[in-house]
């Protein structure tokens, strides 16, 4: 993922966000997912990739939404001729 690239999809629930990234490889397009927790430190917003116990249901939900998006996108591409 380059610094200028943008995710093809994002899913957000509360402070938890998943982003789906597409990367071109010699074997075709590969999707990757990043998940982060946003929090405020004073006046500044920051992100972390560590999650507390109460964050985990939201992590699971955004991960499921990202997986469903990727699966549907791959299914659509395989039927587009």
Q: Is the confidence at residue 2, as pLDDT, over 80?
A: no
Alpha-carbon 60 to chain mean position: 12
pTM, rounded to two decimals: 0.84
Residue 78: pLDDT band by 50, 70, 90 thresholds? confident
Which pLDDT does position 29 carry in this prediction?
A: 87
Report yes or no: 32 and 21 within 8 Å, Cβ to Cβ. yes
Domain regions of the chain by residue span: 9-79
């Amino acid at each position: 993922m380059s610094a200028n690239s943008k995710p093809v999809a994002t899913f957000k629930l509360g402070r938890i966000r998943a982003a789906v990234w597409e990367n071109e490889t010699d074997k075709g397009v590969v999707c990757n997912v990043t998940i982060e927790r946003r929090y405020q430190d004073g006046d500044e917003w920051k992100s972390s990739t560590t999650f507390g116990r109460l964050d985990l249901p939201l992590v699971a939900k955004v991960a499921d939404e990202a997986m469903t998006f990727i699966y549907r996108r791959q299914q659509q591409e395989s039927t587009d001729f």
